[in-house]
Structure 1
Amino acid sequence: MIQVHEIFVCKPGNASKLAKKFKEAMTGSGEPVTILTDMTGQYNRVIMVSQYENLSAYEKNWEKYKADTEAMKKMEAAMAGYQDMYLTGSREIYQIW
């Protein structure tokens, strides 16, 4: 099992807005995603956490984002303007023991 953290460092005042955007976009996607915001540590961070059986399952999941489906169009509409809300980001992949 692996866990993927998509980490976004937001512009001040945008973390909760970005978290809300992610939550709305991921609702109904069928993908079990948890959206986190900071309470301690670095400020203005939003982290999307998802789990997959292995790296192959993670890679396969990306294929649905390439498809031109109605669900992807809805997700794109929900995410409109998100690039303007953050400064930088990173991805961390962990193996769960």
Structure 2
Amino acid sequence: MQITEAKLTTYEEFAAKTGEYKSSISNNRMVWIVTGFVHQGELRMSKGRSVCTDNAKLVEVMDAETGDSFGRSIYCPPNNVINFMP
């Protein structure tokens, strides 16, 4: 993965910007929002039901204190997706 941005912010600011709010995470918790690209290679998405073949954009939210991941989003260009479900 080629990292293009890493931003330190509060979870509250992240949740307000994305609409992804989990009540189990304190609003004051500091998180890293790490954005990057996987230019070549397959990346499984949607619980293994589809594969992004190239140019996937990844956004991961990580706890700044513990390094634990709060989640990852994968964005794939439409022409690079192989779906295994009809």
TM over 0.5: no
**Which structure features the higher share of strand residues?**
2
Q: Which structure has the greater CA radius of gyration?
A: 2
Higher relative contact order (CA 8 A, sep 6+): 1
Give the TM-score of the pair, scaled to structure 2.
0.31
